[in-house]
Structure 1
Amino acid sequence: PGLEHYGCMVDLLSRAGFLQRAYDLIQTMKMKPDSIIWSSLLAACRIHKNVELAEISVARLFELDPSNCGYYMLLSHIYADAGRWKDVERVRMVMKNRGLVKPPGFSLLELNGEVHMFLIGDEEHPQREKIYEFLEELNQKLLEAGYVSNTASVCHDVDEEEKEMTLRVHSEKLAVAFGIMNTVPGSTVSVVKNLRVCSDCHSVIKLISKIVDREFVVRDAKRFHHFKDGFCSCGDYW
């Protein structure tokens, strides 16, 4: 078997939650595992909240690609999910000392030949007031549908209310709201995100697809997400 075969097996085992078996398989490989294999295991560690294997995976990834900010940020999120804020700060300091800066997240949406860009908490868009008003309306419908914000997506040691406010204005939510407001009812809204879509935004867009009866296609740094009727094509694994 080649690297691709091992990569498929590691991905399958990781998706199923068999992280230790995936790691054991990596240990038996006759060739050196590449970054794709280790990053598959790392991503699964966040989904299944396995800090120990995440640290092992990221150590190997740092050896292969020490300048990749994505690995540092994913490890930070894993620590944040576990409430290990000192470790979150430690990762940030390592990034700072190595001169690494996380690129700002943004979302793009094309409408009538014009590309609209949204940043987190965007205050520059001409329709910003209407967008935030519409988001507030959507948020009420989300709460009625049983939505509970996933504040673990916020990698800062602040109170829950502040985390919730930060989550509400993520760029992909702004883009989705703008898309609903400015397209024909029933049409598909397509958004491109330069970073990995956060778990809270993922849950929100799933619910919105059911609430407004629309389909959304979001291309993030990992894959395409096709949201329809409250579900995503990725099966909540990305």
Structure 2
Amino acid sequence: MPNRDLVTWTVMIGAYAECGNARESLVLFDRMREEDVVPDKVAMVTVVNACAKMGAMHKAKLVHEYIGRRDFSLDVILGTAMIDMYAKCGSLDSSREIFDRMREKNVITWSAMIAAYGYHGKGREALDLFPSMLTSGILPNRITFVSLLYACSHAGLVDEGLLIFNSMGDNYSVERDVKHYTCMVDLLGRAGRLDEALDLIENMSVEKDEELWGALLGACRIHNRTEMVEKAAKSLLDLQPQNPGHYVLLSNIFAKAGRWEDVAKIRELMTHRRLKKIPGWTWIEVDNKTHQFSVGDRTHTRSKEIYKMLKTLLEKLELAGYVPDTNFVLHDVDEELKQGMLYTHSEKLAIAFGLISTPEGTPIRITKNLRVCGDCHTFIKYVSAITNRLIVVRDANRFHHFKEGACSCGDYW
């Protein structure tokens, strides 16, 4: 286009973020300003949303500083977007600071702050905010209840979640939809109450979707309920036969149970349908630059130092009691090879890089595009203890804050 105005730039920035390329969104924002196009509040909300998707704290702070310099007021729309941005960049304190500074809040603002606590496993704090919302005269909507139930499911608050779920229609005239049922299935499933979760699914009146069955299948994986897997898997694959993630989850369940023939059948089906597993990536931001790692990655310029640090870490961790959990290597190979595969997971590489490239005692923040594996979760707990570092991990489900050998999720994720 020979001429691009503010609307054009804003639409393009938003389009990249929506399609999963938030990094390019922020590059375009910089280019827009270089061409002397001054953003308005709508453009800034779009940029803030891109920062939230990317999860880069440095970028979030730069955008926040720019908003301050331009004297944009923290109205409901921009303020709520910034609450979500900081929550997804790992700073719950910054989210709460924005929330407290806002003079006007609507139901979406309150729901965003409740959801922020939920992302970080602060279920009690999320529930404590709900009465304050009611006292302020704001009535909850369906999004509020999704946020509350999500917070309960990631903190193991089963009784509280059931109470909230049952109160929706009677107390607040909010009709339950499939997202609320999905949260309840997830809540019951994580707590090991899979029969109740299945009963809830079979008796619900709203149309079932893939996320609902996915929640049940995920719970089957956690609790090794392979007898329930077949029903959940069939329903899931009937709804989304082209989603490779479903096949991978099913394959992982069979692998964990040692059913290698079933694993081979799933992989054969994926090959026949030309489906490929989504690769796992981990990102870490150091010196205002984002570094990306994949499993077994040796492409980084400091790769030799990273692997040297990993070796040193493993020696110290084993002395501290860490034992690699080879159940999370989902291949039919010997134990030695399994340990080698665990050793090079992308999370471990990113953390090793963080340790060699940041000052002692400073926090390390990493982002994973998939769910962090159980062995890496244990590994990071030990690393946080022996290095005296706070390690914040954002995975596909939530945030984990590792400190002094413990995780904020209480091993419930």
1:224 aligns with 2:399: yes
Q: Supply the AA of the counterpart residue of 1:57.
A: A
Q: State the distance in 1 between where 2:324 and 2:393 align.
A: 20
Q: Which residue is equivalent to 1:135?
A: 310
User: Which among 268, 272, 277 is matched to residue 102 of structure 1?
Assistant: 277
Out of 52, 58, 80, the position equivalent to 2:233 is 58
**Residue 212 of structure 2 aligns to which amino acid in structure 1?**
I
2:242 aligned to 64, 67, 89, which one?
Answer: 67
Letter in 2 for 1:151: T
Residues 1:77 and 2:258 aligned together = no
1:191 shift after superposition: 0.9
- Once residues 170 and 127 of structure 1 are traced to their aligned partners in structure 2, the CA distance between those partners, rounded to angstroms, is 16
Give the Cα separation in 2 of the matches to 1:236 and 1:96: 35
| 1:34-183 correspondence runs (5 A) | 34-183=209-358
Deviations 1:176-218 (A, max 9, x none): 0111111122221111112222111111112111121111111
Percent identity over the alignment is 51
Q: Which has more radius of gyration?
A: 2
Is 1:213 the counterpart of 2:391? The answer is no
SS of match in other structure, 1:190: strand
How many residues in Structure 1 have an aligned counterpart in Structure 2? Answer: 238
* 1:132 Cα deviation after fit: 0.8
Give the drift of 1:221: 2.0
Q: Which protein has the bigger strand share?
A: 1
Higher helix share: 2
Residue 192 of structure 1 corresponds to 367
Distance in structure 1 (CA, Å) of the matches to 2:307 and 2:335: 20
**Do the aligned partners of 1:47 and 1:237 also contact (CA within 8 Å) in 2?**
no
Structure 2 CA distance, aligned partners of 1:48 and 1:16?
A: 9
- TM normalised by structure 1 equals 0.94
How many angstroms apart in 2 are the aligned matches of 1:233 and 1:33?
A: 32
Kept in 2: contact 1:176–1:191 (CA 8 A): yes
Equivalent-residue separation in structure 2 for 1:201 and 1:236 (angstroms): 12
Change (3 A) 1:64 1:236: farther
Distance 2:244 2:403 in 1: 31
Structure 1 residues without counterparts, runs of 5 or longer: none
The answer to whether the 8 A contact 2:247-2:270 is kept is: yes
**Would the aligned equivalents of 1:193 and 1:218 in 2 still touch at CA under 8 Å?**
yes
Highest relative contact order (Cα 8 Å, sep 6+), 1 or 2?
Answer: 1
| RMSD (Å) for aligned C-alpha atoms | 1.4
Question: Distance in 1 between the 2:327 and 2:297 partners?
Answer: 22
**Residues of 2 paired with 1:18 and 1:3: CA distance?**
19
Q: Offset at 1:60?
A: 1.2
Preserved CA contact (<8 Å) 2:245 2:278 = no
Q: What secondary structure is seen at the aligned counterpart in 2 of 1:202?
A: helix
SS at match of 2:393: strand
